[in-house]
Amino acid sequence: MSDSSTAKPAVIAAGALCWREGPKGLELLIIHRPKYDDWSWPKGKQDDGESIPETAVREVREEVGLKITLGVPLTTTSYRVSSGLKNVYYWASEIPSNKKPQVDDREVDRLDWVSPTKARKLLTNSSDRYPLDRLVELHEAGDLRTRQLIIVRHAKAKPRSSWSRAESDRPLAATGKRQAHAVWRLLDAWKPTRIISSPWSRCMQTVAGYAKANGLAIKEKNRLTEAEHKRKPAKAAKLMESLFDANHSTVLCTHRPVLPTILKVIDRHLPKELRQYLPAEDPYLTPGQMLVLDLSIKHRDRVIAVEKIEPFDD
């Protein structure tokens, strides 16, 4: 980090290091901004009503015309600006060879695909080299290309005290419906292609918007319900364990009482340095909150990063 201060940032921004495998090896997309006459990564300030991952996706789309999906998180840089501390969050994002970036006439007048060595020389601000160093480190280890396992606690449901019918049918509250919409927007930053959920209404409603928008079926698993988990928690553990051997980016939606079992399985797969990022106390995740695990595609079940992310409930 370029600034170790723990003060709350006055400015939050996000972006991505877009990368691809070129004829001569790893290439990165670097941009020139005429307003500042600098070379940097595509990034920008967070808008109102936006989560930080959404900011990264939007800014890359606006500045270089690419609709990206996020990969592994990189270093967050911190530095001082006129209004105070500024934090910039970066993710890696692989760009398919058939996608061509284009300059944004308002903010970007030049762009180029360059090697990491050339990028390091061109970058105007020294803090922009930190996420580059992390990306190169991951690439050299064979862990830059990743898939995601995303654990979602269902959005806020109607109170038990006000619901007289079957517990499995208890739906989302009005606040929960807004949270579910925020979950949909946030999942779109990673575009998981497989959805697994407890069949109880409040879980299904939490992921239904994302599923419908992307033409995906929701795979209902009774073992993720509160009732079945209470009887046979080992079944939920076995399901979670199987996801580490899968090939797809997956989102799993379940209930608060099931989370300790899910987290115990995750803990067994985490390297020591990542265990501090795993929720350790009840309620583990708040309604609508999610845990995003990045797993190396080359090294199968190796967990590269853990992020706990709060959807922006507008």
Q: What gap in Å lies between CA 215 and CA 165, rounded to an integer?
A: 31
Query: What type of residue is 227?
Result: A
pLDDT tens, residue order, the chain (314 aa) = 333 334 568 899 999 999 999 999 999 999 999 999 999 999 999 999 899 999 999 999 999 999 999 999 999 998 888 888 999 999 999 999 999 999 987 889 999 999 999 999 999 999 999 999 999 999 999 999 999 999 999 999 999 999 999 999 999 999 999 999 999 999 999 999 999 999 999 999 999 999 999 999 999 999 999 999 999 999 999 999 999 998 899 999 999 999 999 999 999 999 999 999 999 999 999 999 999 999 999 998 899 999 999 877 55
Contact between 236 and 261 under an 8 Å Cβ cutoff? The reply is yes
Residue 190, number of CB atoms within 10 A of its CB? 21
Contact between 206 and 180 under an 8 Å Cβ cutoff? The reply is yes
Given this model, what pLDDT does residue 5 score?
37
Given this model, what pLDDT does residue 314 score?
52
305, β-bridge pairs: 294
Whose structure tokens read 């985490």? 270
Q: What gap in Å lies between CA 54 and CA 142, rounded to an integer?
A: 27
Mark out the alpha helices in the chain (DSSP H runs): 52-64, 116-122, 129-141, 174-187, 201-213, 226-231, 233-243, 259-269
pTM, whole model, 2 decimals? Answer: 0.94
Angle formed by the axes of helices 174-187 and 201-213, nearest 10°: 40
Given this model, what pLDDT does residue 7 score?
52
Q: In 3D, which of 222, 220, 149, 218 has the Cα closest to residue 187?
A: 149
Domains and CATH numbers, the chain: 11-141 (3.90.79.10), 146-309 (3.40.50.1240)
Given this model, what pLDDT does residue 142 score?
97
Give the H/E segment covering residue 18.
strand 11-22
Q: What gap in Å lies between CA 199 and CA 221, rounded to an integer?
A: 6
The first and second tokens of residue 234, run together, are: 């080992």
Q: Is 151 helix (H, G, I), strand (E, B) or coil?
A: strand
Sheet-wide strand order for 146-153: 218-220, 194-197, 250-254, 146-153, 290-296, 303-309
Q: In 3D, which of 224, 217, 234 has the Cα closest to residue 202?
A: 224
